[in-house]
Amino acid sequence: MLYFFQQDELAQTAQDAEPVVEEKTLSLFDLMLSGGLGGQIIIIILFILLFAAVYIYFERLFAIKSASQVDKNFMLQIKDSVLNGNIESAKMRCQQSDSPVARLTEKGISRIGSPLEDINTAIENAGRLEVYKLEKNVSILATIAGAAPMIGFLGTVIGMVLAFHELATSSGQAQMGALAEGIYTAMTTTVAGLVVGIIAYIGYNHLVVKTDKVVHQMEATAVDFLDLLNEPA
């Protein structure tokens, strides 16, 4: 009985003597801040680019959504007014609807009486201006989508250069822990750059698709208006 008691006591003592390994956890925020001054500057730049990308995306999204909202009866009302010779009423109806389609139609109405080719040219010129307004600042998203990953890679390369510089200056005696910490800290800039680039890229392509729909809507309206002028009296 004493033998078993001693065995249990020895086992308990062995368990108590085992070193307790504490799990080292590092939050993403701490990881970003532990990259030194160079890494912190790059992370700040990427955060600024992320804020700019998100702002431009939602600002353009709401603007494009507003531009795409057109009354289904708009062209019918314009057609009735033009066929009845009530040009001023048609202009007023266009002015009441603040949309690219209405502005294109108003431009065409203001040229009624001119040759059809001149009316078509006026509508096309007005359409180019409307497309430019819709695409305002969208190209910045494309720039951010391409620049952010490269900025992230730049931070990684700088971190790797510093890590190997430490290895070279220590005559190969640098601790692997210090090198590993510098390397994975440098890699965080790549992760941040890719995240910002992906967000900007998706946002840019989504805005391009939405803009194309509005442009198609304007083209269809221009064709309907020109067909209206070609209808026999």
Residue 209 has pLDDT above 80, yes or no: yes
Q: Which of 149-153, 164-168, 176-180 has the lowest mean pLDDT?
A: 176-180
Q: Look-up: residue for tokens 């009530």?
A: 86
pLDDT at site 224? 83
Residues near 143 by beta carbon (within 8 Å), at least 6 away in sequence: none
If pLDDT is split at 50, 70 and 90, which confidence band does 24 have?
A: low
Average pLDDT of span 215-230: 82
Average pLDDT of span 126-130: 87
Q: Which of 54-58, 67-71, 219-223, 227-231 has the lowest mean pLDDT?
A: 227-231
Residue 57 has pLDDT above 70, yes or no: yes
Note the pTM of the prediction, 2 decimals.
0.75
Distance between CA atoms of residues 70 and 213, nearest Å? 13
The whole-chain average pLDDT of the chain stands at 78
**Nearest C-alpha neighbor of 229 from the set 74, 119, 123, 94:** 119
Residue 11 has pLDDT above 70, yes or no: no
